[in-house]
Structure 1
Amino acid sequence: MLEGKLIKFYREKEGFTQGELVQGICSVTHLSKIERGITEYSGEITFLLSKRLKIDLETEVIRYNKLNEKLTEWHEAMIMQRTQEVEILKNEIEQETLKDLPDYLILYRLLLSKYYLFTNQLEKAKQLIFTLNKQEHSLPAYEQNLLKHVLGIYYFLSAQFNDCIQILKSIDQTQYNHHEFYYHLAIAYHSIHSNITSYYYAEKALHYFRRTLNILRIIDTETIMIAQLNAKELHDFEDTKRKYDSLLKLCDACKAQDRKAKLYHNLAFEHSRRKLYREASDIYQTAMRLITTENPHYLTTFESYLSACHKGKLLPETELISLAKEGLQLCKKRNDRRFVDFQLLLYLFQKQEIRYYQYIESTALNHFRDSGYNILVDHYEKKLFHYFLKHNETEKALNLAESLLKGKRSFYDYE
């Protein structure tokens, strides 16, 4: 029974042994049964026990139930992306002693991990998640699946997309009703350029967010879906721009600056793909002005901006080199895996052809394979193949060609 759990919790918190607490009230055996909830007991006994512990059991039962409600509200606020409410609830929950009760301790720590991810505190999240992961098989079903979801988000934010997909797909949907994880699957598949699968999960996420009236996540999901329309071939550009303009206006209505930055990034990318580099660079700069350098998406936009400036010959080489070094330093400071992208840009801008291709061969390709960036693996393998041919490194070129062919499947292979 709940009263027994509360008595045990406060007894241990105050450092009483069972014998010390029951002296003059009841037997140790009776207290043990009360704490385990396996016996009937009189109100007089629990009154005397709680008085000795200096607690009011009725008040504690109310607090216990309210904490359950607050933890649920905190999780919902994170899903709904209500930042101010998330912070208020976190502060209230942190003041609650009962959060350390065994009933709530694991759930509280899982939600705290998700909070750290929500606020881009990846190192704090990592330490807590991997501590909890050691207990995975002893957790109740709901907490097991919440742990998988939180771990999946961590893998995504750490650019470990294959690991993200693997863990999220292992979630048991019959035991876990927060279908927000469909969105995280959609963005993970988007990141490895598996566009049809990304669109599939985005549609499932969109249905969930519409059903729960989650406007901000509707913006997120529709952003992903527009990207998939342009993935394999260029969608009608005027229609694409209209879709982005509609979502940008919705961001203004919701005062969602970070989402506006992502939309501008994607819109800039669509201009860059169409070789409209001047327009792309201007829009990338607009995106960067909307967020701080601490935002996890800043480096992605910064790298894309430098690439557009290089392709469009919009900045002098000295400035490009300086900016690439700045990006590299930011990556190293934050231990961000995108340092590979900036290192490649730096060698490219410095016209260090040998070091550029050596770095692709020795570091970049393995990095992109591990992260699941299949489209970048294809891109750089082809560049490396042509480089080997150009420099008469025939054996390396043939080995790479063999690797390329092994990784491809014909349409008819699926028959």
Structure 2
Amino acid sequence: MMEFGALIKYYRTQRGMTQTELAKGICSVPHLSKIENNSKEANEETIALLLERLSISLEEMEEKEEEIKHLIRDVNNKINFYLKEEIDEIYQKLKNREHLTPFSKHIYIWELTKYRYLLFKRKIGEAESQRDLLFKQKKKFSQHESYLFRYYNAIFLILKGQFKNADDILDTLYIENDHDTTSGEFLYHRALVKSSLEQSGHAIHFGKMALQIFMNQHNFLRILHTLMLLGISYTHSKIYEEAEGCFQHLIRNAELLKEEKMLPQIYHNMGFLQNKMNNDREALVYYEKSLALQPNVNQHYLVTLYSIGEIYFSLQFTEKAKKCLQEVFSLAKELGNKKYRLLAEFYLFHMASPQKAFKYLETKVIPFFEETSEQNDYLTRFYKMLADYFNENGMVHKAVNYLNKITGGIT
């Protein structure tokens, strides 16, 4: 039920009426005061008469209460099905009724839905303000509202790149619910966090559970997102056949659904997989397909371009590699990306003078990657390159030093 007491007070104040003016002929002023502070003090007939004097009908208010409930549900459904194009219109309808929500039993669910919407739209600053507002109200939340608040806070942390903190929240919620959840979204976010923390086994486990739910719901876009996550996790786990199956399925369906925004990422990940499987020429085909579909010169474009340059280098297509890596170097400087500037410069040095390149690798590139501990694949490869180089040049002690780093031995 609507909080009619608070609603009456709101509209009386808005209309510029005193309590005496509103109560005249309906009830006493002290009784109206009690109603305004606690609507349970009044019977339906008195409420109806007071609303009528304020030019509001009881039926209309109850209809609006029901309408708010349905609109909240619709906004959440659009988010669940990732329907970005359709959500704004429904959200706006809800915003237009926002003045009524403080008197509705849906007040906190509406404020939580607003928080979720802002996260969905990647409006991080506004979402943070909404989170702070909700935090002040959290003692009044029901158990379900408290669950939603913590879950949305985990999504907020994911968007901020704080995956460990997000994982802690999701883990707690999962345990509290006795591992029982029918929400594909929740399981998808669990898989996403596990993948970001390079816990591929867990990412596959939760990803498969999410995929099953999304398939049962015919939630096509979320099926694609989950397949992408699974493909990446299978690749990192060296389960290449499963990974290839995911990406092939993705390519077919993304082309069918005309998901042009996803295709560059799918092609890039398929290229990365082929590269891992030592299918360099296949990898090149997919990377080039990805690059051709990327309209903006940004960090994603830079990563794909570098991947192409690296393959050209390994295939000894020297001129193509040089041209590509020079572009990577310029673009990395422009975008302020130190990692790819260092990598491009190393390979450009290598094509001019291997001796100079290996010195650069040892003094500039490796120290950078050792500081950023997430780059284990690069470090292992560079330690191996240096070990081979020093071994070939008779510097056995230095070679052993880098081999020890690969195996975690004492240096």
TM-score tier (shorter): 0.7 to 0.9
Match of 2:191 in 1: 186
Contact 2:75-2:87 at 8 Å conserved across structures: yes
Match of 2:114 in 1: 112
Measured at CA, do residues 386 and 290 of structure 1 come closer, stay the same or move farther in structure 2, by a change above 3 Å?
Answer: closer
Alignment of 1:70-219 (within 5 A): 70-98=71-99, 100-101=101-102, 103-133=105-135, 135-171=137-173, 172-173=176-177, 178-219=183-224
Which of 29, 39, 42 matches 1:40?
42
Which of 241, 245, 249 matches 1:246?
249
Contact 1:114-1:150 at 8 Å conserved across structures: yes
Equivalent-residue separation in structure 2 for 1:135 and 1:341 (angstroms): 44
Contact 1:227-1:266 at 8 Å conserved across structures: yes
Greater shift in the superposed pair: 300-309 or 85-94: 300-309
Which of 210, 220, 225 matches 2:225?
220
1:1-37 per-position Cα deviation (integer Å, ceiling 9, x unaligned) = 5233532443465576756644564334323443423
Alignment of 1:13-412 (within 5 A): 21-22=22-23, 25-35=26-36, 36-43=38-45, 45-98=46-99, 100-101=101-102, 103-133=105-135, 135-171=137-173, 172-173=176-177, 178-236=183-241, 240-290=243-293, 293=296, 299-300=299-300, 302-313=302-313, 315-317=320-322, 319-327=324-332, 329-330=334-335, 339=337, 341-342=339-340, 344-345=342-343, 348=346, 352-353=360-361, 354-362=363-371, 364-365=372-373, 368=374, 376-377=375-376, 380=379
**What is the RMSD computed on CA atoms of the aligned residues?**
4.0
Counterpart residue type for residue 39 of structure 1: E
Equivalent-residue separation in structure 1 for 2:251 and 2:100 (angstroms): 40
1:187-236 per-position Cα deviation (integer Å, ceiling 9, x unaligned) = 21112221111111112212322332212212222333333333332524
Measured at CA, do residues 97 and 189 of structure 1 come closer, stay the same or move farther in structure 2, by a change above 3 Å?
Answer: closer
Contact 1:303-1:341 at 8 Å conserved across structures: no
Counterpart residue type for residue 186 of structure 1: A
Counterpart residue type for residue 123 of structure 2: Q
Work out which structure has the larger RCO, using CA pairs closer than 8 Å and 6 or more positions apart in sequence: 1
Greater shift in the superposed pair: 127-136 or 57-66: 127-136
Equivalent-residue separation in structure 1 for 2:380 and 2:325 (angstroms): 25
Q: CA deviation at 1:138?
A: 4.2
Counterpart residue type for residue 163 of structure 2: F
Contact 2:5-2:35 at 8 Å conserved across structures: yes
Greater shift in the superposed pair: 320-329 or 104-113: 320-329
Measured at CA, do residues 401 and 221 of structure 1 come closer, stay the same or move farther in structure 2, by a change above 3 Å?
Answer: same
1:41-95 per-position Cα deviation (integer Å, ceiling 9, x unaligned) = 252x334432443333321220111111111111011111122321221222222
Contact 2:231-2:244 at 8 Å conserved across structures: no
Paired residue secondary structure (1:197): helix
Equivalent-residue separation in structure 1 for 2:302 and 2:82 (angstroms): 25
Contact 1:195-1:231 at 8 Å conserved across structures: yes
Equivalent-residue separation in structure 2 for 1:283 and 1:34 (angstroms): 69
Equivalent-residue separation in structure 1 for 2:40 and 2:196 (angstroms): 53
1:132-187 per-position Cα deviation (integer Å, ceiling 9, x unaligned) = 34544443322222222222223223332212211222224489863411101112
Contact 2:78-2:87 at 8 Å conserved across structures: yes
Q: CA deviation at 1:344?
A: 4.8
TM-score by length of 1: 0.74
Equivalent-residue separation in structure 2 for 1:31 and 1:392 (angstroms): 93
Q: CA deviation at 1:328?
A: 6.2
Contact 2:207-2:229 at 8 Å conserved across structures: yes
Equivalent-residue separation in structure 2 for 1:125 and 1:281 (angstroms): 40
Contact 2:204-2:233 at 8 Å conserved across structures: yes
Contact 1:64-1:98 at 8 Å conserved across structures: no
Equivalent-residue separation in structure 1 for 2:133 and 2:341 (angstroms): 33
Paired residue secondary structure (1:54): coil
Contact 1:303-1:327 at 8 Å conserved across structures: no
Measured at CA, do residues 32 and 347 of structure 1 come closer, stay the same or move farther in structure 2, by a change above 3 Å?
Answer: farther
Match of 1:409 in 2: none
- Between the two proteins, the alignment pairs up a number of residues equal to 380
Measured at CA, do residues 87 and 130 of structure 1 come closer, stay the same or move farther in structure 2, by a change above 3 Å?
Answer: same
Measured at CA, do residues 381 and 257 of structure 1 come closer, stay the same or move farther in structure 2, by a change above 3 Å?
Answer: same
Contact 2:195-2:229 at 8 Å conserved across structures: yes
Contact 2:383-2:405 at 8 Å conserved across structures: no
Equivalent-residue separation in structure 1 for 2:51 and 2:234 (angstroms): 64
Q: What fraction of aligned residue pairs are identical, expressed as a percent?
A: 21
Counterpart residue type for residue 58 of structure 1: E
